[in-house]
Structure 1
Amino acid sequence: MPALKKTSINASFFPKAFPEENDDERSDREITNEKGEKHKIILLHFEEGDPEDPLNWSLSRKWFTVSMMTCLIGLSTSAYGSTISGMSDEYGVAEVVCQVGMFTFNAACAIAPLFLAPLCELIGRREVYLTAYGLFVLCFLFLALGQNVETQIIGRWFSGMFGSCGTILVGGTFADIWRTEDRSIPMSCFTFVAIFGTIAAPVYCGFISERVGWRWIEWVHMIASGILFIVELFFFKETRGAKILSGRAKALREQTGDNRYRSPSELESESIKQLLKKSSTRAVKILMGEPVIFFFGLWIAMAWGITFLFLSVIPLTFAGNHGWSEGIAGLPYFGLIIGCFIGFATGLWADRKYDQVQRDNNGIAVPEYRLYGAMCFGPLLPIGLFIFSFTQYAHVHWIAPIIALVPIILGIYHIFLATYNYTTDAYGEMSSSAIAGQGFMRNMFAASFPLFATQMFKGMGFQFAGLLLALITAALAPIPFVLFKYGARIRASSKYAVADGQDEHQVRETADRTLAEKNALHGSA
């Protein structure tokens, strides 16, 4: 067994149960053996360079661990939208009824992590991820073989419940396998994969439905996801350092008969009831009690709702104005894909800008420095919506609204980055609960918007429906500018946020444990 040394573990999904204690203080604890004798514990940690420490894994293993699962679940999320037309015709129901399946998927993504996250804390990520992903694959049987719309709706609920592990909870794995100084690019890549997966499926799913029928959309994704599941069974390893150390401590106790060996997580363990309370009640309390969290949550919820709304709107508008077939009407999503690539590149610029300003500030990190990207690119969302709306005429060349999709997704991309980066930095150990609250709001918006997309754009007209969305997002666009100017003052008056006078190094160390939920939380992450 590798040697043991005291080093930190970035593995906890929730804040520590004993945040005020350091390792030396916990090492001074005593346990009582069967004879009633007290002995000091022996606290286990990874040695530097330990190959079993997930932080020391190879780059290829780290990338494989999280990227493919997230991408395939994201593709499956939006692929359902391409089945709705054929499903509606076969079942003889209105399309809006079939849209309920989109609602149930995202609603499950909003609720399920509150219960699945504590399981990761208690039994480890591997068991939860593989079990959930295996069940996610089986859910395709409901969708591919279902003989009525009720089966589709129920199947989508369970698909969202189990798929949330690979889109929302998987963000926690980043804190397990990447060191703080190495995490900017991986997190940007994860954001890209989560958003890309959500918007890319309609490009090819329309052709599948057109050529071989809508059920084959589900079969294709089941085959791809099933192959990945088999691969993950063999290659996906436990990423929580706390779980690995707990296994070592247990093995040492069994091999030596010495009951003093303990891992840090065994001293910090909480009951499932405590973890559930922490992951739900505190999230709602902070969401409703902190204006910054609420308005940032509203902003990202609106952006993610528009993303899912456009899964219905893009085929509707291009088929209606230009007479395109179902397959061809999915090609405009290439505009969103191009915007996603630009978002990734400009996101790296925003990270470099943050590092530069931090160095100029004597190395002190200020949360407001995270807002440069949102201030530069966030306003592109309402601008893109306005252009998209008023190019929705049959006599306007089809390339014009496709070009408008680029600034729309670019704005959404930076809203995501700014929301989760700022929340993580500004709320320290409370940011996990704050992000959970924002994630709940975001996924509920994503669940609801597709239900009225068709009626809204047909009833109001393509132009004025888009104009309404542009005006709402324009009203939210000043948020990063207001926070950039007044953020420090707001944080100073908050009982949850980080004040300027606090130790920034301590704050960032605490934030590392919640940084993983940045994705957190794309519902599609």
Structure 2
Amino acid sequence: MSIFHDTITDYFLRAAGIKIAPHPDERDSSTWPTAAAVGGGDPEKNAPRDSASTPTSDPAIDKEKAHNVAPEGVILVEFSPDDSANPQNWPRWKKIWVMSQLSLWTFTMYIGSSIYTAGIASVSEDFHVSTVAATLGLTLFVLGYGFGMCILYPRRSLSLTTRTGPMIWAPMSEVPQLGRLPIYIFSCVMFTALQVPTALATNFGMLMAFRFIGAFFGSPVLAVGGATVADMYGPRTRAYGITLWGWFAIAAPTLGPLVGGFANHAHGWRWTIWELLWLSGFTLIVLWFFFPETSHTNILYRRAVRLRKATGNENYRAKSEISSEVYTLNDIVQMMLVRAVLLNFQEPIVLALNLYIALIYALLYCWFESLPIVFIGIYGFKDTLVGTSFLGVLMGGVLGIPMFFYYMKYWQEPKMDAEGNLKPEERMLGASIGSLFIPVCLFWFGWSSRESVHWIVPIIGSSFFTMGGVFLFNSVLNYLPDAYPDYAASVFAGNDLMRSGFGAAFPLFAGGMYHNLGIGWASSLLGFLACAFVPIPFMLYLYGDRLRYMSKRARHDI
């Protein structure tokens, strides 16, 4: 019955007094920590694995490190090396099962943005608004999950630890007493429920409001999903899991227009939302019965609670309980609101990479607007089949992932130390390769999209965007936590907000740009913008360590 272990179903059954999946400490009392495992004493022994010996420029982080040594008399509740409750020790089939569910929820959330685009013309007609105004349904959705991720992001990195402090919007996934599972379920329930008023919207303002709110509540999977992967996989293999999970975030927007196109053609834009409701409802059922808690802090916290209840000894404490007690409201505001904004402007590396990722994200959404123009206007595709033109983008990801895995296996892994750590700048070689693919795609697509050239040629060219994106995005999103381990979540929060802002704005003028400049020159303009940022990963690969050592916030020990 381990498939139900620590699921919402398991929680409800336990509340009713039914234990279908006993925990290791419930099966064998010999696994309980003894009084010999008390706190105090050697700080190195009791400090978490990611603690640094040198102070940072952040008082809140230094405060946590100063309190990481357990008080005298406390019996620390920790994982043993072969503890079956530790997600890192789960069997492969269970990790794959959890990854499949996480990917399904991510796919559902991301397809919500592009499935709407198939009905933009129908929205415009129903509510008597312009096409640009109707496009706000896409941009507000992107903004919604961008703001949600910025607020919901965990405080600490997913590269070195899954142990983090409190959130600004409680309850959040890293609070030891809560964990990740309730956040996933709550967000999925809200996202699913909000599709009903969205589909039944009686006016344009109502439709736009619920598109934004639905994305906002659905965003935790995008912010917390990487941490869930990190819960199960160690530093050496984590990037593979992140890449596979991220592929579903790529696949969903490319399939949205295809899936939504048939529904819109048959019944109008409302049926694109009903399709999203059916998918999210199915996802909710699967998560409810089968998705387990993966947060190490929550698993250990609940174990400590069980031991306190079973023994009557209040000295059983999880380390996360101790460290989470040291934060004040000012610390939380400083960590989650102020730092996320300031780091984007105070750190040249962070600013350059976040701008680059935000630009590429915006170019993707902007360029997507040209596909219906090309394949309906030039090649005469039926509106129900125009979604098939996105399959080249999808195939680019399918091809890019094994290429990236080969690169990681035979180039990056040999350079890792015994613990799986890698010099951050080594990540930038992959980003440098990926940066070249994206302008190639835009120039190829723009100048091959004409009646005299077969339609398969621009579709082949479109695959280079996602091939480059796999290398670029995964390299950058691994570089940032490697270089800024104590600030990684703040860096990511700023990245998410900037990326979503750019991605929301660009589609609003994309249609006019392509009609006024033509397919060739409009795509070339996007290609020139992509070229302008190509030197960034090359410069960081060659000279990034010098910039990193000049920063008070960046990591200096590798």
- Does the 8 Å CA contact 2:379/2:451 hold for their aligned counterparts? yes
Aligned residue-pair number: 488
- Once the 2 structures are TM-superposed, how far is the Cα of residue 75 of structure 1 from its aligned partner? 1.6
- Equivalent position SS for 2:211: helix
Q: Which residue of 2 aligns with 1:518?
A: none
Segment of structure 1 superposing worse, 321-330 or 148-157: 321-330
Partner of 2:524: 467
Tell me the residue number matched to 2:379.
322
1:91 to 97, 118, 127: 127
Task: Tell me what 2:239 maps to.
Answer: 184
8 Å Cα contact 1:343-1:414 kept in structure 2: yes
SS in 2 for 1:168: helix
Q: Residue in 1 aligned with 2:41?
A: none
| Bigger mean CA offset, 358-367 vs 203-212 | 358-367
Matched, 1:213 2:268: yes
SS in 2 for 1:181: coil
1:390 partnered with 2:447 = yes
* Aligned residue type for 2:529: I
Q: Single out whichever of 475-484 and 193-202 deviates more from structure 2.
A: 193-202
Report the CA distance shift for 1:254/1:107 in structure 2 as closer, same or farther (over 3 A): same
Aligned to 2:323: 268
Superposed displacement of residue 10, structure 1: 8.9
The two structures, once aligned, show a CA RMSD in angstroms of 2.6
1:225-280 deviation line (CA, Å, top 9, x unaligned): 10220221122222111112212222333343322111111111135663343122
Tell me if the contact between 1:339 and 1:406 (Cα under 8 Å) persists in the aligned partners: yes
CA displacement 1:182-230 (0-9 Å, x = unmatched): 3232111012111112222222321221133322111122112102202
Amino acid corresponding to residue 376 of structure 1 in structure 2: I
One-letter amino acid of the counterpart of residue 496, structure 2: G
Residues 144 and 215 of structure 1 are in contact (CA less than 8 Å); yes or no, is this contact kept in structure 2? yes
What is the match of residue 110 of structure 1? 146
The residue aligned with 1:476 is 533
CA distance in 1, matches of 2:439, 2:74: 59
Task: Work out whether residues 16 and 268 of structure 1, in 8 Å CA contact, stay in contact via their aligned partners in 2.
Answer: no
How far has the Cα of 1:472 moved from its partner? Answer: 0.8
- 1:243 aligns with one of 298, 313, 319: 298
Structure 1 residue 314: Cα displacement? 0.9
| Other-structure match for 2:160 | none
Question: Is contact 1:79-1:202 (8 Å) kept?
Answer: yes
Which of these residues, 71, 84, 89, is aligned with residue 56 of structure 1? 89
2:476 matched to 1:410? Answer: no
Cα separation, 2, equivalents of 1:419 and 1:93: 39
CA contact (8 A) 1:426 1:491 kept: yes
- Report the residue type matching 1:199 in the other structure: T
**Displacement after TM superposition at 1:320 (Å):** 1.7
Counterpart selection for 2:481 from 409, 424, 435:
424
User: Does residue 346 in structure 1 map to residue 403 in structure 2?
Assistant: yes
Query: Contact 1:78 / 1:311 at 8 angstroms: preserved in 2?
Result: no
2:137 is matched by which residue type in structure 1? Answer: G
Distance 1:179 1:406, change over 3 A: same
Matches of 1:331 and 1:225, distance apart in 2 = 23
439 and 256 in structure 1: CA distance in 2 versus 1, 3 angstrom threshold: same
- Aligned residue runs from structure 1 range 50-449, under 5 A: 50-57=83-90, 58-117=94-153, 118=167, 119-122=172-175, 123-269=178-324, 270-271=327-328, 274-358=331-415, 365-449=422-506
Secondary structure class of the residue paired with 1:237 = coil
The TM-score normalised by the length of structure 1 is 0.87
Tell me how far apart the structure 2 counterparts of residues 130 and 244 of structure 1 sit (CA, whole Å).
17
Structure 1 gaps of 5+ residues are: 31-39, 505-525
Q: 1:356 to 1:121 in 2, by over 3 A?
A: closer
Shift of 1:22: 8.9
Q: Deviations over 1:447-466 (max 9, x none)?
A: 11111111111122222211
SS of 1:429 mapped into structure 2: coil
- Deviation at residue 423 of structure 1 after TM alignment: 1.1
Q: Report the CA distance shift for 1:64/1:381 in structure 2 as closer, same or farther (over 3 A).
A: closer
**Which one-letter code corresponds to 2:379 in the other structure?**
H
Q: For the residues of structure 1 that align with 2:489 and 2:462, how far apart are their CA atoms?
A: 32
- Aligned residue for 1:43, secondary structure, equals strand
1: CA distance, partners of 2:390 / 2:320: 45
1:381 Cα offset (Å)? 0.7
Question: Contact 2:67/2:323 (CA < 8 Å) preserved in 1?
Answer: no
Bigger relative contact order (CA 8 A; separation at least 6) = 1
Change over 3 Å in CA distance of 1:328–1:362 after alignment to 2: closer
Structure 1 residue 163 displacement after superposition: 1.6
**Partner Cα separation in structure 1 for residue 107 and residue 186 of structure 2:** 18
Amino acid at match of 1:152: L
Cα 1:243–1:16 shift into 2, 3 Å: farther
Give the Å deviation of 1:326: 1.2
How many percent of aligned residue pairs carry the same amino acid? 29
Contact 1:4 1:47 in 2 (8 A): no
Instruction: Tell me what 1:41 maps to.
Output: 74
CA distance in 1, matches of 2:420, 2:96: 31
CA contact (8 A) 1:374 1:415 kept: yes
Q: Matches of 1:161 and 1:203 in 2, distance apart?
A: 24
Q: Is the 8 A contact 2:374 2:449 kept in 1?
A: yes
Question: Aligned partners of 1:297, 1:482: CA distance in 2, in Å?
Answer: 15
2:235·2:419 contact (CA, 8 Å) conserved in 1? Answer: no
- Measure the CA separation in 2 of the matches of 1:83 and 1:272: 44
Q: Give the aligned residue type for 1:121.
A: E
Asked whether the equivalents of residues 75 and 316 of structure 2 are also in contact (C-alpha less than 8 Å), the reply is: yes
Deviations 1:81-123 (A, max 9, x none): 1121111112221111111122211112222234334221222
Given the superposition, is the C-alpha separation of residues 116 and 363 from structure 1 closer, same or farther in structure 2, using an over 3 Å criterion? closer
8 A contact 2:107–2:249 mirrored in 1: yes
CA separation of 1:212 and 1:362: change in aligned 2, threshold 3 A:
closer
CA contact (8 A) 1:299 1:415 kept: no
Give the deviation of 1:159 after TM superposition: 1.5
CA distance in 1, matches of 2:50, 2:302: 15
Q: 8 Å contact 1:357–1:369 — kept in the other structure?
A: no
Q: Given the superposition, is the C-alpha separation of residues 402 and 223 from structure 1 closer, same or farther in structure 2, using an over 3 Å criterion? A: same
The 3-state SS of whatever aligns with 1:395 is coil
Q: Which residue of the partner structure matches residue 511 of structure 1?
A: none
Secondary structure in 1 aligned to 2:485?
helix
| Alpha-carbon distance, 1:470 to partner | 0.7
2:484 and 2:77 map into 1 onto residues whose CA distance is 30
Q: Contact 2:149 / 2:222 at 8 angstroms: preserved in 1? A: no
In structure 2, the CA distance between the partners of 1:363 and 1:55, relative to structure 1 (3 Å rule), is: closer
Letter of the 1:47 counterpart: S
Per-residue Cα deviation, 1:488-508 (whole angstroms, up to 9, x for no partner):
111111111223xx1x4xxxx
Aligned position for 2:157: none
For structure 2, list consecutive stretches of 5 or more residues without a partner in the other structure: 1-24, 38-45, 52-57, 154-166
